[in-house]
Amino acid sequence: MENQIAIKAQHLKKIYRRGIEEIYAVNDISLDIQKGEYVSFIGPSGSGKTTLINILGCLDNPSSGKLSIGDKEIFSEGKTLSEKDLTKIRRELFGYIFQKFYLIPTLTVLENVLLPSTFYKKDGTENHASELLNMLGIDKRKNHLPGQLSGGEMQRVAIARALVNYPQILLADEPTGNLDSSRSHEISEILKDLNQHKELTIILVTHNMELARTADRVVELRDGVVKL
Amino acid sequence: MLSIYKVSYKNLLRKKTRSILTIIGVGLSAWVLASLMGFNQGYEASLNRDIDNMGFQVLVTAKGCPYEAATLMLKGGTGLRYMKESITNLVLVNPEVDKVTPMLMHAVFDPNKGESGGMSAYLGVDPETFPKMKSFLEFKQGKWFTDSKALEVVMGYEAAELEQREAGDILLIPDKNIELKVVGILKRTGTQDDGTIFVPIHALQKLFGKTGELTGLGIKVKKDANIAKFEEKLYELPDVQVVSLAQVKQTIMNLVSTAKVMVFSIAMIAILIAMVGVINTILMSVFERFQEIGILKSIGAMPWDIFKLIWIETFILCILGGIAGTGMTFGLSKTTEFLIRKLLPYTPTGSLIKLDFNLIAMTMLTVLIIGLVSGIYPAWKAARVRPLESIRSELN
Ligand SMILES: Nc1ncnc2c1ncn2[C@@H]1O[C@H](COP(=O)(O)OP(=O)(O)OP(=O)(O)O)[C@@H](O)[C@H]1O
Ligand SMILES: [Mg+2]
């Protein structure tokens, strides 16, 4: 358990082409993330934060470089897993939250949380959903529709949805981007708590320094490279 | 537990108006389709029934003999020609024949009828065969005579009105001084039977000195017989003319088939429109939900899961549309009939549209296939959404 590597990235590059112009959104980044670690990425807009964590989260493939999750090799010099295998890894290991919550407006809070289980189900998700809503303090709202909730509550629903299938790693891209400071604070407390008590590995992208500092490690990006 | 069906269904609730309009579109085309198929079944059936109501499809008469009561009246009861009763046997040898019934027509001038007198038409019929062939004739009073020599009559509705007779009364044939007993009065049929006085054939032959003679022979042909060929054979009999209702029917069916092609094209167009409507609705909702579908992918949905999700949505739309269409088909069948009647050159009296379980099953099946086919493209499109693309597109 101690010091086990959850994610190992070596020389990751992501190149976008716009006509003849080449953009190195991620330019040779290598890093390890330990199991149970809480890492946050900061940096100015366009510095490659989203691009990087999408690769780390197996949502996107790098142009070159290597990526392993646990002992599974995901990308290696142009070779990638099939979309199907990637989906399997994603739903087995990862939970994702984003700046927008993407809750389904016609499903209740509880149904939204249970949504992943219609595609992929680990044991006991039904109870787990209620537990999570309880833990996140929105159990009273479970039969409400997302439209009846505040932004902070909606993000908490999205967090519950991300956690319902017991992921090992939570990927959060600007989870507080749409929230005011006190709601942001609530979310940061929740993340810290999840990391400490559920041993959840958390990879966070944020502009918010206060939020970034709650992490074990803060990585700053600049023009696609890690700023030391 | 949250099922994928529930998720699909709730997705449709987001844009209620759009979903409802699509359902109505599918419903309308299901309605057109079901009505058309019902019409296909119903029209021919009721045309056949109309023709069956004549009792026989082929009438053989002596050459030059008027075969309609009206013509007979115009000719003042003269001009009748006679065939020998033995012709019956010549006709019966043909394998196409199901039943025959011999008839003797006779018209008498009745000076007491109306103001200046009028014609009375008597038809001698065989109590063995005639009532069976015209089994649809209904009685207002009494019933058929049973003895072909009995001095009894059955009166058509108008004949009875004119003569003011009831069952049990006596009818006197002018000049003959013979009393006939009225044993039955028919209900109105709207045909020449209404003005006819039916008399047992042998009694009528004897009364007017026509023993062994007939004016007509009604022939009911077997169901699958080749009527045209049979008629040709009949023409080989000496001195007869053949009047065929099958020819009349064929002419009508030909006229109708053109109309059928037209209605069928309308149904095809309706189906196409419904399909385009469904594809449009689902495709729009897929595009609107691009990011959300990406999220579903990132929370573990396989392409096939997304395909199913979207496909089920089209299914739900189409099934609800099918149900609505079936409802309309039954609810509006009278209106549909009215519309079709206006469209067609000739329409039989019975109901034109025949609805049954098979028809509904066929309609639902068609609608399901529409759903299946229409759903493929949008579902495929959605299934191909990559989780990242959708998350990315928030940037743009
Ligand atoms: N699909 C794409 N095609 C072309 N260029 C892209 C694409 N996605 C990102 N980029 C470019 O890559 C660079 C890094 O983008 P990225 O979204 O990773 O930055 P970011 O650090 O997340 O910024 P922000 O803080 O604004 O979210 C930017 O210059 C961006 O314009
Ligand atoms: Mg970003």
Q: Each residue of A112-137: pLDDT tens digit?
A: 999 998 988 777 778 889 999 998 88
Look over chain B and give the mean of its residue pLDDT values, rounded to a whole number.
84
| Domain end point (choices B238, B269, B298) | B238
Q: Is there a single domain that holds both residue B76 and residue B180?
A: yes
Q: Is the pLDDT of residue B395 over 60?
A: no
Q: Is there a single domain that holds both residue B131 and residue B159?
A: yes
Closest ligand 1 atom to residue A48 Cα is 18
Residues contacting residue B354 through CB under 8 Å, at least 6 positions apart: B38, B41, B42, B45
With a pLDDT cut of 90, the percent of chain A lying above it is 62
Q: Is residue B57 part of a domain?
A: no
Q: Is residue B58 part of a domain?
A: no
Report how far residue B261's alpha carbon sits from residue B258's, in angstroms, rounded to the nearest whole number.
5
Q: CB-based contact (8 Å) between B301 and chain A? A: yes
Would you give the end-to-end CA distance of chain B in angstroms?
36
Q: Is the pLDDT of residue A100 over 90?
A: no
Q: Is there a single domain that holds both residue B382 and residue B292?
A: yes
DSSP conformation class of B259: H
Q: CB-based contact (8 Å) between B18 and chain A? A: no
Looking at residue B253, its pLDDT comes to 74
Q: Is there a single domain that holds both residue B372 and residue B228?
A: no
Q: Is residue B132 part of a domain?
A: yes
What is the tally of structural domains in chain B? 2
| Domain end point (choices B208, B238, B268) | B238
* Length in residues, chain A: 228
Q: Of the candidates B299, B303, B387, which has its C-beta nearest A116's C-beta?
A: B299
Report how far residue B277's alpha carbon sits from residue B270's, in angstroms, rounded to the nearest whole number.
10
Test mutation, B11, B295, B309, chain A, max A CBs within 10 A: B295
Q: Is residue B225 part of a domain?
A: yes
Residue nearest to atom 30 of ligand 1 (CA): A46
Q: Which domain, by its residues, includes B340?
A: 4-51+252-395
Q: Is there a single domain that holds both residue B143 and residue B229?
A: yes
Q: Is there a single domain that holds both residue B258 and residue B384?
A: yes
Q: Is the pLDDT of residue B199 over 90?
A: yes
| Domain end point (choices B188, B206, B238) | B238
Q: Is residue B243 part of a domain?
A: no
Q: CB-based contact (8 Å) between A128 and chain B? A: no
**Smallest Cα–Cα separation from B274: which of B154, B170, B369, B136?**
B369
Looking at residue A3, its pLDDT comes to 60
Looking at residue B37, its pLDDT comes to 81
Q: Is residue B199 part of a domain?
A: yes
**A chain contacts of residue B302, beta-carbon cutoff 8 Å:** 84, 87, 119
Sign of CA dihedral A124, A125, A128, A134: negative
Crossing angle of the two packed helices B303-331 and B333-343, in degrees rounded to 10? 70
Looking at residue B298, its pLDDT comes to 87
Q: Is there a single domain that holds both residue B176 and residue B294?
A: no
By CA distance, what is B15's nearest residue in A?
A106
3-state SS assignment for residue A137: coil
Q: Tell me if A50 CB under 6 Å of ligand 1.
A: yes
- Quote the pTM value: 0.71
Q: Is the pLDDT of residue B393 over 70?
A: no
Q: Is the pLDDT of residue B73 over 60?
A: no
Q: Pick the ligand that lies closest to the CA of residue A51.
A: 1
Report how far residue B373's alpha carbon sits from residue B287's, in angstroms, rounded to the nearest whole number.
19
- This model of the complex carries an ipTM of 0.87
Q: Of the candidates A54, A119, A162, which has its C-beta nearest B305's C-beta?
A: A119
**A chain contacts of residue B4, beta-carbon cutoff 8 Å:** 118
Report how far residue B67's alpha carbon sits from residue B54's, in angstroms, rounded to the nearest whole number.
13
Q: Is there a single domain that holds both residue B310 and residue B354?
A: yes
Q: Is there a single domain that holds both residue B39 and residue B143?
A: no
Q: Is the pLDDT of residue B19 over 70?
A: yes
Q: Is there a single domain that holds both residue B70 and residue B197?
A: yes
Q: Is residue B77 part of a domain?
A: yes
Q: Is residue B59 part of a domain?
A: no
